[in-house]
Copies of this chain bind each other. A is one copy, B any other.
Amino acid sequence: MKKISIKKGEFLQKSGDLNTKVYHVQSGLLRSYIIDEKGKEHIFSFAPENWVIAGSLPPEVPADLYIDAIENSVVLVVNKDIRLEGKNAGALIRRIAVLQKRVIMLMSDSALKRYEHFIQTYPDIVKRVPQKMIASYLGITPEALSKVKNERNRNH
């Protein structure tokens, strides 16, 4: 398994790439995101230490995500087939649970509730990432996030 060092701002994968890999983050912080037709970024996931981040599973399909480094990072390139084995299936199921909750939140919760959920689920990421990326992950603009935070402080 190859170990890769990647500097802040560098890409691990771009949308359209074939033969994508799965990466296990050893240190640092990565993100995956799409760029829509208006050129706007939408962050799909953050991956700090000990998380896994992947382009498109299955790997024979072109990636629809960009992956780049928010901090200087070291990642392990995981052999793709490991995903399918024993304890890794557990990780897949956890991933599905997280995605399911995210879909439900996007359908039914306000920006404020999504933000509350985010900061209490990923408190460390909140501190390490610029606001505009949090907004992007929540599916709102940075301006809207500013408003939300204000409102939140008012009702301390």
Pick the most buried of A97, A100, A101: most chain B CB atoms within 10 A of its CB. Answer: A100
**CB of A36 closer than 8 Å to a CB of B:** yes
Binds B, one of A6-14, A103-111, A126-134, A146-154: A103-111
Give per-residue flags for A136-156: 1 if the beta carbon is below 8 A from chain B beta carbons, else 0: 000100000000000000000
Q: Is the CB of B97 within 8 A of A56?
A: yes
Q: Which of B40, B89, B104, B139 contacts A89 (CB 8 A)?
A: B89
A108 to B: closest C-beta gap in Å: 5
When all copies of this chain in the complex are counted, the total is 2
Closest to A41 in B: B108
Docked-complex contact A42 and B108, CB < 8 angstroms: yes
Question: Are A84 and B95 in contact (CB-based, < 8 A)?
Answer: no
**Interface SS of chain A:** helix
A100 near B44 with CB under 8 A, answer yes
When distances are taken between beta carbons in the complex, the residues of chain B under 8 Å from A101 are 64
Contact A139 B57 (CB under 8 A): no
A58 part of interface (Cβ distance < 8 Å): yes
Which A residues lie at the B interface, using CB under 8 A?
34, 36, 40, 42, 44, 56-58, 61, 64, 83-84, 86, 89-90, 92-97, 99-104, 106-108, 139
